[in-house]
Copies of this chain bind each other. A is one copy, B any other.
Amino acid sequence: MDGNRPSDVLSPECPSRQVLRHLTSTWGVLVLIVLLKGEHRFSALKRRVGGVSERMLAQTLQQLEGDGMVLRVAHPVVPPHVVYSLTDLGQGAALRVQALVGWLESALDDRAIASGDGKIGRICQV
């Protein structure tokens, strides 16, 4: 009926802010862009996301799962076998996060090249 927008991250009490914090958290961002490439097991995520501790990875995945961004499927076998993937909602988020990250990497590279700084190539090689 009306055209107003209920969710507003500029408003401190709005729950959307919590979700935004999860999506844009240090590890949340990185987990999302890795999961965009396909489903991963816990240990595979840990290897891909450089520098993350098991504790932080578990916590980040639980937050994203709680927000409906990540799907966790556990196969009841020993040793445990758990697969993480993006939900439809999570894929929408991950695509936007990836757009920001991809743009940033390019923009920083362009700036490094423009300033003649040859160091970055040695620092960040995949």
The interface of chain A, by Cβ under 8 A from chain B, is: 4-16, 19-21, 23-26, 29-30, 33-34, 48-51, 68, 89, 92-93, 96-97, 99-101, 103-109, 111-112, 120-121, 123-126
Residues of chain B with a CB closer than 8 A to A105's CB: 5, 7-9, 16
Instruction: Report whether B5 and A109 are in contact in the complex, using a CB–CB cutoff of 8 Å.
Output: yes
Instruction: Report whether B124 and A6 are in contact in the complex, using a CB–CB cutoff of 8 Å.
Output: yes
Instruction: Report whether A96 and B99 are in contact in the complex, using a CB–CB cutoff of 8 Å.
Output: yes
Residues of chain B with a CB closer than 8 A to A16's CB: 104-105, 108, 124
Closest to A124 in B: B14
**How far is it, in angstroms, between the C-alpha of A91 and the C-alpha of B14 when the chains are bound?**
25
